[in-house]
């Protein structure tokens, strides 16, 4: 189908590659636009695509000089000069830009005519089409940027939500008999945390068995004046109370479901094995056993000096006594093992807040006395006795 620009120009037409400013062999990079970088894509195109693009450019030059339309050819050309990983979706935008450049070039080659009215009409239509193409191109670019910004905002929101859950203490639920208390640990912490993130609220959850079975409430202390986050928007405020009493807010089913999703798993105690994370000694051996071993070693060192003066008969008697003691030890082995386990339970403590790691009780007592905050040495959660 002949184009509306099928006329003989007064001068030879330039090559198509020069008109649309595309040189695949000299610039083997993607012709797409990277919105996140604000520039042209720097990814390389494959050799086969560049070869096909050069063939299409040469064919398009011949069609232009013969007065034929090259719209379909430009549509076939676009995928060959775009990287296959990121910017194949920009083929239609690139084609529209090339068509606009070709029309502008051909209009500049139109010879002057005695009739001015048809020229004005043609110029108006060309300007209208150019403006429409430019608007479409800008719209596509804005949509791409909006998509990138939305994805980035979603990732930040997920990261912020994960940090808010980590900062909150674990929530315990017993059926529906639950009340959520929204407050602040201190006025300073509320002001410092709510300044950059006003929607974050320090929540403390406690179970109450005295509440009615079908009722849940959020108690908000008035001095804190904390803003209600998005999770508690769908609530209805009860009748006002005196200033000394807290304001009670009824929670809908959606808020209860959100609170149920915020529940963190309970900490489980790990097996008693390995070393204490504070003193790096074996967990199976308590501090008292270590002191007793040191005293026993010192006593044995003194006894060795005295044994050098004893006779061989005394050594035989000691061997017989040791054999008898071994027989007695085999009979009492199970009892001693049970006593040892009970003794270890008294000498060891474990993190009940999150990680469940075991420590020597004496070591953790010293840690809590010297540490700036009563936290677990492993997971840094608030230590629970």
Give the pLDDT score at 159. Answer: 85
Cα 311 to its chain centre, rounded Å, is 76
Whole-number Cα distances in Å, 264 to 46, 165, 311, 354: 51, 8, 69, 9
DSSP secondary structure letters along 81-112: GS-TTT-GGGHHHHHHHHHHHHHHHHHHTPPP
Query: Which residues in the chain land under pLDDT 70?
Result: 1-11, 111-127, 164-265, 285-316, 325, 327-345
Closest CA to 249 of 209, 222, 280: 222
Say if strands 217-220 and 178-182 run parallel, antiparallel, or are unpaired.
Answer: parallel
Give the pLDDT score at 165. Answer: 67
Give the pLDDT score at 291. Answer: 60
Give the pLDDT score at 234. Answer: 40
CATH number for the domain formed by residue range(s) 267-302+338-385: 3.30.40
Give the pLDDT score at 331. Answer: 60
Give the pLDDT score at 302. Answer: 57
Give the pLDDT score at 303. Answer: 57
Whole-number Cα distances in Å, 173 to 42, 168, 259, 265, 351: 55, 15, 10, 11, 20
C-alpha–C-alpha distance, residues 210 and 178, integer Å: 9
SS3 192: helix
Give the pLDDT score at 209. Answer: 41
The domain spans of the chain are 16-147, 178-261, 267-302+338-385
Q: pLDDT tens digit string along 337-360?
A: 555 555 566 788 989 988 989 999
Give the pLDDT score at 251. Answer: 44
The residues near 232 (Cβ < 8 Å, ≥ 6 apart) are 182, 218, 249, 251, 255
Mean pLDDT for the chain? 69
Say if strands 348-350 and 358-360 run parallel, antiparallel, or are unpaired.
Answer: antiparallel
The answer to whether the Cα torsion of 205, 207, 211, 212 is positive or negative is: positive
Say what the pTM is: 0.31
C-alpha–C-alpha distance, residues 334 and 70, integer Å: 94
Give the pLDDT score at 376. Answer: 93
């Amino acid at each position: 189908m002949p184009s509306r620009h099928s006329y003989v120009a007064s001068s030879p037409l330039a090559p198509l590659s020069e008109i649309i400013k595309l040189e695949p062999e000299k610039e083997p990079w993607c012709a797409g636009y990277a919105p996140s970088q604000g520039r042209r894509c720097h990814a390389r195109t494959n050799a086969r695509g560049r070869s096909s693009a050069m063939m299409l450019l040469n064919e398009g030059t011949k069609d232009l000089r013969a007065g034929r339309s090259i719209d379909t050819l430009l549509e076939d050309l676009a995928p060959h000069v775009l990287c296959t990983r990121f910017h194949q979706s920009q083929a239609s935008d690139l084609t529209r830009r090339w068509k606009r450049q070709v029309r502008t070039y051909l209009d500049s080659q139109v010879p002057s005519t005695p009739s001015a009215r048809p020229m004005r009409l043609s110029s108006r239509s060309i300007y209208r089409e150019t403006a429409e193409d430019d608007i479409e191109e800008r719209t596509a670019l804005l949509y791409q940027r909006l998509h990138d910004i939305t994805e980035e905002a979603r990732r930040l929101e997920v990261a912020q939500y994960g940090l808010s859950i980590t900062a909150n203490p674990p929530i315990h639920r017993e059926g529906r008999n639950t009340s959520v208390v929204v407050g602040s640990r201190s006025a300073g912490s509320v002001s410092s945390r709510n300044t950059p993130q006003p929607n974050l609220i320090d929540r403390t959850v406690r179970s109450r068995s005295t509440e009615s079975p079908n009722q849940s409430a959020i108690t908000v202390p008035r001095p804190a004046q904390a803003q209600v986050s998005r999770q508690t928007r769908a609530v209805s405020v009860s009748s006002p109370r005196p200033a000394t009493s807290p304001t009670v807010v009824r929670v809908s089913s959606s808020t209860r479901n959100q609170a149920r999703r915020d529940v963190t798993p309970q900490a489980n105690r790990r097996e008693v094995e390995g070393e204490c994370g504070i003193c790096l000694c074996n967990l199976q051996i308590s501090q008292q056993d270590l002191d007793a071993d040191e005293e026993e070693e010192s006593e044995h060192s003194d006894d060795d000096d005295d044994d050098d003066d004893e006779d061989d008969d005394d050594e035989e008697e000691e061997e017989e006594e040791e054999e008898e003691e071994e027989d007695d030890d085999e009979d009492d082995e199970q009892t001693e093992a049970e006593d040892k386990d009970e003794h270890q339970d008294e000498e060891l403590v474990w993190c009940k807040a999150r990680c469940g790691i075991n420590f020597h009780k004496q070591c953790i007592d010293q840690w809590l006395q010297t540490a700036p905050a009563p936290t677990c040495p492993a997971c840094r959660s608030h230590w629970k006795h």
